[in-house]
């Protein structure tokens, strides 16, 4: 069963919410998450969530308005800027110390959760699954993103924004937390240096610089790609999994674009009618570790690179 359709850190909340929402009609705002699940998400019973600042209101019943989203977005953005160094990787340990958040490891998190945020005796705690280290300076890029994402939830709690039980509100909050994580881990200064506003960036350079940025800032290619598409106009990235089946299968692991191009999300199978089918079915192109640039008329110029077992694609959208 495909539970995760969203290109975000896979946390317990996603897993439960997706399962939960999958069984509920669109009007979910009169329903309630089972208290056991709520407790797993927050560490508290649904009606008794408390923080240092007092009792939290109940979970979000309805979507946020556009104005609320805009206000929260700018709040998170300024929080990210105040916490990050202008250059270099985010010192996660220092940030957690500054915010009074502890990091721990649990041998078992439900499902395939990448991490959870919970209140532990009034203090926030982020729990990662074993065999991670609880040393914040030794986290994988994936878990650095998870920690940053969960800090976004914590900040939203500070603004009275709870976990959502309305489906749309849920994804509004996830989007806000993902954007916050990207901004926290990758500063505007780093982006401006990698992609100067007046520079004409080729597809090849888009791919090369994004991978360098990811390596330099200790984030995943996916996190870097998503952040870069907010900065570089007409840019897109796709990571494709190539299976060893015969004939091989090509599945989009994640994709991001800042202008309509592929409109193919996670899990999409690349079939004969897909724009990228010609690329992926050409073995000469697919299995090349060196970067190849290719005109993909009429919509893009792309650069591709084989990083076994993935084919990574960066695109400059031309229309």
Nearest-angstrom CA–CA distance, 264 and 252:
8
DSSP 130-175: TTS-S-GGG--HHHHHHHHHHHHHHHHHHTT---B-SHHHHHHHHH
User: Cα–Cα distances in Å, from 64 out to 110, 167, 205, 243, 270?
Assistant: 29, 11, 38, 40, 35
Q: How far is the CB of 177 from Zn ion (least distance, A)?
A: 5
Q: Which is nearer to Zn ion, 8 or 270 (CB)?
A: 8
Q: Which is nearer to Zn ion, 164 or 186 (CB)?
A: 164
- Of 75-83, 96-104, 171-179, 256-264, the segment contacting Zn ion by CB under 5 A is 171-179
Is there a cis peptide before residue 247, judged by omega within 30 degrees of 0?
Answer: yes
Q: Which is nearer to Zn ion, 8 or 236 (CB)?
A: 8
Count residues near Zn ion (CB under 5 A): 1
Two structure tokens written together for 98: 């500054």
Task: Please tell me the number of Cα atoms within 13 Å of 245 on its side-chain side.
Answer: 8
DSSP 95-109: HHHHHT-EEEEES--
- Of 56-64, 99-107, 173-181, 261-269, the segment contacting Zn ion by CB under 5 A is 173-181
In three-state secondary structure terms, 276 is coil
Nearest-angstrom CA–CA distance, 200 and 247:
38
Q: How far is the CB of 8 from Zn ion (least distance, A)?
A: 7
Nearest-angstrom CA–CA distance, 241 and 266:
11
Q: Which is nearer to Zn ion, 14 or 209 (CB)?
A: 14
Q: How far is the CB of 12 from Zn ion (least distance, A)?
A: 9
Q: Which is nearer to Zn ion, 113 or 300 (CB)?
A: 113
Residues 6+ apart with CB under 8 A from 161: 60, 64, 72, 173
Interface with Zn ion in residues 253-272 (CB under 5 A): none
Q: How far is the CB of 18 from Zn ion (least distance, A)?
A: 11
Q: Which is nearer to Zn ion, 38 or 204 (CB)?
A: 38
- Of 127-135, 176-184, 252-260, 270-278, the segment contacting Zn ion by CB under 5 A is 176-184
Interface with Zn ion in residues 111-130 (CB under 5 A): none
Specify the residue for token string 């990448």: 114
Q: Which is nearer to Zn ion, 11 or 305 (CB)?
A: 11
Nearest-angstrom CA–CA distance, 252 and 254:
5
Interface with Zn ion in residues 15-54 (CB under 5 A): none
Nearest-angstrom CA–CA distance, 238 and 225:
9
In this structure, are residues 16 and 33 in contact, taking their beta carbons and an 8 Å threshold? yes
Q: How far is the CB of 150 from Zn ion (least distance, A)?
A: 7
Q: Which is nearer to Zn ion, 17 or 242 (CB)?
A: 17
Q: How far is the CB of 89 from Zn ion (least distance, A)?
A: 22
Q: How far is the CB of 233 from Zn ion (least distance, A)?
A: 28
Q: How far is the CB of 90 from Zn ion (least distance, A)?
A: 18
- Using only the alpha carbons of the chain, give its radius of gyration: 20
- Of 154-162, 175-183, 212-220, 245-253, the segment contacting Zn ion by CB under 5 A is 175-183
Q: Which is nearer to Zn ion, 60 or 177 (CB)?
A: 177
Interface with Zn ion in residues 132-161 (CB under 5 A): none
Two structure tokens written together for 178: 């993902």
Q: How far is the CB of 206 from Zn ion (least distance, A)?
A: 28
- Contact set with Zn ion (CB under 5 A): 177
């Amino acid at each position: 069963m495909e539970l995760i359709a969203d290109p975000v850190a896979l946390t317990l909340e996603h897993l439960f919410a997706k399962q939960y929402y999958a069984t509920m009609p669109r009007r979910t705002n009169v329903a309630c998450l089972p208290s056991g699940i709520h407790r797993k998400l927050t560490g508290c019973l649904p009606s008794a969530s408390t923080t240092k600042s007092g009792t939290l209101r109940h979970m979000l019943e309805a979507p946020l308005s556009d104005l609320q989203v805009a206000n929260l977005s700018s709040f998170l953005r300024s929080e990210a800027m105040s916490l990050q160094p202008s250059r270099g990787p985010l010192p996660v340990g220092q940030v957690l110390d500054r915010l009074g958040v502890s990091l721990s490891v649990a041998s078992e998190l439900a499902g395939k959760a990448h991490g959870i945020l919970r209140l532990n005796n009034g203090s926030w705690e982020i729990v990662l699954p074993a065999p991670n280290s609880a040393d914040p300076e030794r986290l994988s890029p994936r878990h650095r993103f998870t920690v940053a994402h969960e800090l976004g939830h914590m900040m939203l709690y500070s603004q009275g924004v709870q976990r959502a039980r309305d489906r749309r509100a849920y994804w509004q909050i996830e989007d806000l937390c993902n954007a916050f994580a990207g901004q926290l881990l990758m500063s505007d200064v780093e982006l401006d240096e990698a992609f100067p506003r007046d520079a004409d960036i080729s597809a090849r350079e888009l791919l090369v610089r994004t991978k360098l940025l990811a390596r330099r800032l200790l984030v995943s290619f996916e996190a870097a790609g998503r952040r870069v598409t907010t900065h570089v106009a007409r840019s897109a990235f796709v990571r494709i999994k190539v299976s060893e089946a015969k004939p091989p299968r090509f599945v989009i692991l994640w994709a991001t674009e800042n202008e309509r191009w592929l409109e193919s999300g996670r899990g999409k199978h690349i079939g004969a009618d897909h724009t990228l089918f010609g690329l992926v079915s050409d073995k000469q192109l697919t299995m090349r570790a060196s970067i190849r640039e290719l005109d993909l008329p009429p919509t893009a110029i792309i650069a591709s690179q084989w990083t076994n077992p993935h084919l990574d694609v960066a695109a400059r959208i031309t229309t």
